[in-house]
Structure 1
Amino acid sequence: MQDRCRMLQVMSIDACGKASLWQLAVDMISDMFLRSLPADDFCFHAAISACEQGGFWQQALGLVADMQLRKLNADGICWGSVLHAMKLAGREDLAQKTLERLRQRWAQPSARQVAGPIGTSMKKLAPDVVIGDGVLAVFKPAGCTSESMLERLLAKWRAGGWQGELTLVSRLDLPTSGVLPLALGGQADGPTQYLDAQYAARQVSKEYLCLAAGQSLGPRGARASIDTPLLVSRSWGERLGKRVEASAAGKQAQTKLRILELFDIPPELGGVEALALLAVRPMTGRLHQIRVHLASLGSPIVGDNAYGGCSLAGSRLFLHCRSVSLKDLSGSPFKPKYPLPEDLQRVLADLRPQSKDLEERSARPCVSQHSVRQPNTPGSRPNSAGDATPSRSGTMKRNNSMTRLPDEAPIVAEKGYCPDSPPAARPGSASSASARKQGGLLTGVMTNPQAANKKVTPLCFTHTYEKSLAEEKDKKSD
C-alpha cells in the first residue's frame, strides 16, 4: 500500500513539474516526508524544473540544498536548472559566479577519471577530434547514431591502450551530421557534470546549416525568431523514432535563423515558393526542434521525409551542425567547427550555377508573433477553430509564432521570463510578495527532515548563499 501511495505521489509531482506548478510540486515533496514516504532524485528534479520555468531560483536552490542534506544526487542538470532560473530572474551575475564555483569543484583531480593522457598516436587514430580540458568534439557523419559514434571512438582508443571513459552530453539525429561534443569521463565525473550544467543552463551555443524549401521566409540576410511550443506526441516506429509537433500544449522552444543564400527552384521542386540556405541556432534543446519549427512555417528541410520535406537528387536530410560553443574545465572557450560534408557541398554546387540574385525579390509577409489562422492546405482538414490540422499524409499544422528581427540583430539568447510563466507568479509581483508573507517553502525555505514531531523547521539558505559568495570575493581581493 505504501509503495502504491509513493508511486502516485511521484507521478503527481512529475505532472506538476511539467505543468510548471512549482509550489504544488514542492508541497507534495514536503507531504511525502511528513507521511514517511521517501522522495528520490526524480521527485526533486521535477520540482526544480518547475521552479526553473518561472525564474524562481531561490526555491530551486533550496531544493538542491535539501537534496544534499538528504544525501541525494544533485547533479549538473539540477544545477543547470538553478542557473537558468537565475538568468530568467535577471541574476545572470549570480549565475556566472555559481557556475565558476561549480567549475572549480568539478575540475579537482578527485572529480576526474583516472586515465592516461590522449597521446599523439591516439590522435592519429581519430584525426578529426578536437580536444579541450575535460571535453572533446568529433565529427558525426549522417547515417550513424551518436551512441555508435561514441563506441567507434572508444574502440579505436582502447585498442591503442587508453583506458578512460567518454560520455555523451548531447545527441544529433541519425540523419544529421556535424559536431558531437563528448565529456572526458564517466557519467558521475566532473567533466560530464560541468557540461551537463552548461547545457541545462542554456549556455551552450550551436549553429546549424540547413536547406529549406517551401514558403518564403524573407530576402537574403533576413533574420527571424520562431517561438512555437513543441510537443512529443507519439512514436513513428523504430526507424523514424518519436514524432514531434507544434502545439500550444508543448514545451517552450525558440529557434533563430538567418537566410544566407537563395536559389532558383529546380524542376524537381515544382510548386515550391522559395529554396533557401539557412544558418539556424536553437535557443532551446527540444527533440527535432529545427525540423519541426521550419515545417510548421511551411518550409521544411530538404530531405526531411518525416516532416513533409521534398527531395533533391542525391540528397539526404540537409541538416548539419556546423559549430558548438561552450567552456571547458579550465574555463577557456571551446569552439569546435566542422564544415559542410562533401555530399551537401555537391548539392549546393549543383544549385549555384543556375541561381540568380534573388535578394530584391519581395518576400511574402512573415507570420506575426501571435498565432495566425492559415488557409487550409491540400491534404488537410479544418478543425473546430478553422485551422489546418495534420492529415494522414503528415502535413504539418500551420499556426505558429515567427517574429522578423532587424537585420543587425545578433542571434543570441534573450533575457526575460519564460512566456509560460504567469505574470502574477513572477518574483517581485504583488502575488509573489503576498505569498512570501505566508512563509514556508515559497520563501525559499526548505524542510528539515530531522524535525521533531514531524513539524516543519525552516532552513534558510538564500541569504547565507549570497553572503558566502561575497565573503569568498573579499578573500580573493585581500
Structure 2
Amino acid sequence: METSWPGLRAQCLVLEDEAILALNKPAGISVTGERHDTDLVEMAAAQGETLYPVHRIDKVTSGLVLLAKQLPAHGVLTRQFTKRTAEKAYLAVTASTGLPDRGVIELPLSVGRKNRVRIAAPRESIHRAGDTWRVDSRDVLAGKNYPSVTEFATVARTDSHTVLALRPITGRRHQIRVHLAWIGHPIVGDPLFDKSGAFERTHLHSWRLTLDAPWRPNGLLELEAEPGADFWRPGSATITGDPRQLLSSASELMTGTTPTAS
C-alpha cells in the first residue's frame, strides 16, 4: 500500500472538484481521529492540505471516503448524513451460506462493555419473520439503545461464502458488521468477531454514495468505488465470476425493492 500522501491521494482518487475530494480508501488505514494511528486527514495536513471528513468508515473497511476541502460544502454534506438523506451502499462477503435473495435486519444497537457495539437484546431473542430479522420490544435491554435497519440483496453465492450488497438505512457505528454477525453471517476477516488473524483484510467495502451537491452542474454527487482484487479473495477461497459483472448485478439488485421492515 502507498504510504506517502501524494502517492496515496493519486492512487485512490475517485473524484475531485473545488469543494470535495473523494477517495477509494484501502483497508487498513484510518480516516481521522484514531489514537496512535496515522490517518488520512493527518497525512494530508502534514503536506499542507486541510481536509474535513464528511463521514467515516472503519479502518478495516475499504472504499469511498468523502472529504470536504471547504467548510460550506462540509456543512451541506454532513447535514445529509445527519438527516439520513445520503444514499449509501456497501459490499460484503460473509463466511456463511443460507441468506435469502433479499432481506432486512431490524435490530437495535447499544454499547456494551469496553465500548463494544452490540445488539440491544439477548442473542436468543433474535428471530426471523419472513426475510426480516428483529426482536420483540419486550426483549430490548433497558438503557440507551438505537433503532438500526440494514437492507441487503444477495449478489453471488459459493459453497462457503455469500456476497451481499447492503444499504444501511441508519448509520450507526459498526452497524453492518454487528447486524450480520449477530444473525449468524459474519463478514470474512472482521476482527470484531474473528480474532484468529487468518485473513489479510476485512471484506467490507464502501461502494456507493449519492448526495445533493448544489455547486455541481447537475446538483448531485454520485460516487462509486470498485473494490480491489483482494476483496474477491476471502482467505483461500475465490469468488468466481467477472467482478464487473458482479457489480452490475449488485447495481440492478440495489435498484429493486427490498422487503420493508415493519
TM-score by length of structure 2 reads: 0.71
Note if 1:302 corresponds to 2:188: yes
Provide the C-alpha distance between the structure 2 equivalents of 1:131 and 1:257, rounded to a whole number of angstroms.
30
**Structure 2 residue runs without a partner (length 5+):** 1-5, 33-38, 121-139, 242-252
**Residue 410 of structure 1: aligned partner:** 257
Q: Could you say which residue in structure 2 is the equivalent of 1:207?
A: 89
1:126 aligns with 2:5: no
Contact 1:132 1:328 in 2 (8 A): no
- Give, in whole Å, the separation in 1 of the partners of 2:206 and 2:240: 25
Greater relative CO, 1 or 2 (CA 8 Å, sep 6+): 2
Q: Distance in 2 between matches of 1:344 and 1:299?
A: 17
Aligned pair 1:149/2:40, yes or no?
Answer: yes
Task: Give the one of 192, 201, 223 matched to 2:102.
Answer: 223
Larger proportion of strand: 2
Specify the SS of the correspondent of 1:216: coil
Q: 2:248 — aligned with what?
A: none
Aligned to 2:223: 336
In structure 1, what is the Cα distance between the partners aligned to 2:60 and 2:164? 18
Deviations 1:199-255 (A, max 9, x none): 11111111111111236212xxx11111110001132xxxxxx31111124211110
* Inter-CA distance 282–125: structure 2 relative to 1 (3 Å threshold): closer
Kept after mapping to 2: 8 A contact 1:133/1:328? no
Q: 2:184 & 2:195 partners in 1: Cα distance? A: 9
CA contact (8 A) 1:229 1:252 kept: yes
Structure 1 vs Structure 2 CA RMSD: 3.2
Q: Deviations over 1:399-451 (max 9, x none)?
A: xxxxxxx9984359x7x9xx8xxxxxxxxxxxxxxxxxxxxxxxxxxxxxxxx
Aligned to 2:132: none
Show the counterpart of 2:133.
none
Q: Which residue of structure 1 aligns with residue 35 of structure 2? A: none
Q: Residues 153 and 349 of structure 1: is their aligned pair in 2 closer, same or farther, counting only changes over 3 Å?
A: farther
Distance 1:177 1:337, change over 3 A: same
- Tell me, yes or no, if structure 1 residue 262 matches structure 2 residue 157: yes
Letter of the aligned partner of 1:410 in structure 2? T
Counterpart residue identity of residue 116, structure 2: R
Q: Structure 1 residue 293 and structure 2 residue 175: aligned?
A: no
Q: Specify whether residues 318 and 310 from structure 1 end up closer, same or farther in structure 2 by C-alpha distance, changes over 3 A only.
A: farther
What residue identity is the alignment partner of 1:291?
A: R
Q: Report the AA paired with residue 171 of structure 2.
A: G
Q: Is the 8 A contact 2:52 2:69 kept in 1?
A: yes
2:231 partner SS: helix
User: Is 1:232 the counterpart of 2:111 in the alignment?
Assistant: yes
* Contact 1:232/1:243 (8 A) holds in 2: yes
Per the alignment, do residues 329 and 348 of structure 1 end up closer, same or farther by CA in structure 2, a change over 3 Å counting? farther
Kindly indicate whether the alpha-carbon contact (under 8 Å) linking 1:264 and 1:351 is maintained by their aligned counterparts in 2: no
Q: Following the alignment from structure 1 to structure 2, what is the Cα–Cα distance between the partners of residues 124 and 320?
A: 18
The alignment partner of 1:286 has SS state of: coil
Distance 1:144 1:228 in 2: 29
Which protein has the bigger helix share?
1
| Identity over aligned pairs, percent | 30
Amino acid at match of 1:142: A
Q: What CA distance in whole angstroms lies between the structure 2 residues aligned with 1:146 and 1:175?
A: 10
- Post-superposition shift, 1:124? 10
**CA offsets, 1:42-72, max 9 Å, x none?**
xxxxxxxxxxxxxxxxxxxxxxxxxxxxxxx
How much does 1:353 deviate? 5.7
Q: Distance in 1 between matches of 2:195 and 2:96?
A: 8
Question: Aligned residue for 2:130?
Answer: none
- Which of residues 58, 73, 80 is equivalent to 1:198? 80
In structure 2, relative to structure 1, the CA distance for the partners of 1:259 and 1:307 (3 Å cut) is same
Q: Which runs of 5+ in 1 are unaligned?
A: 1-121, 159-163, 236-241, 266-274, 355-405, 420-478
Which residue of structure 2 lines up, in the alignment, with residue 345 of structure 1? 232
Summarize the alignment of residues 420-431 of structure 1 with structure 2, pairs less than 5 Å apart.
none
Deviation sequence 1:108-131 (CA, Å, 0-9, x none): xxxxxxxxxxxxxx8996253212
Which aligned pairs between 1:343-382 and structure 2 lie closer than 5 A? 343-347=230-234, 350-352=237-239
- Does the C-alpha gap of structure 1 residues 328 and 353 become closer, same or farther in structure 2, counting only changes over 3 Å? closer
Aligned partner of 1:326 among 190, 211, 216: 211
Corresponding residue SS for 2:12: coil
Please tell me whether the aligned partners of residues 150 and 168 of structure 1 are also in contact (alpha carbons under 8 angstroms).
Answer: yes
Shift of 1:171: 0.8
Counterpart for residue 282 of structure 1: 168
With over 3 angstroms needed to count, the CA separation of the structure-2 counterparts of 1:227 and 1:309, relative to structure 1, is farther
Contact 2:44 2:51 in 1 (8 A): no
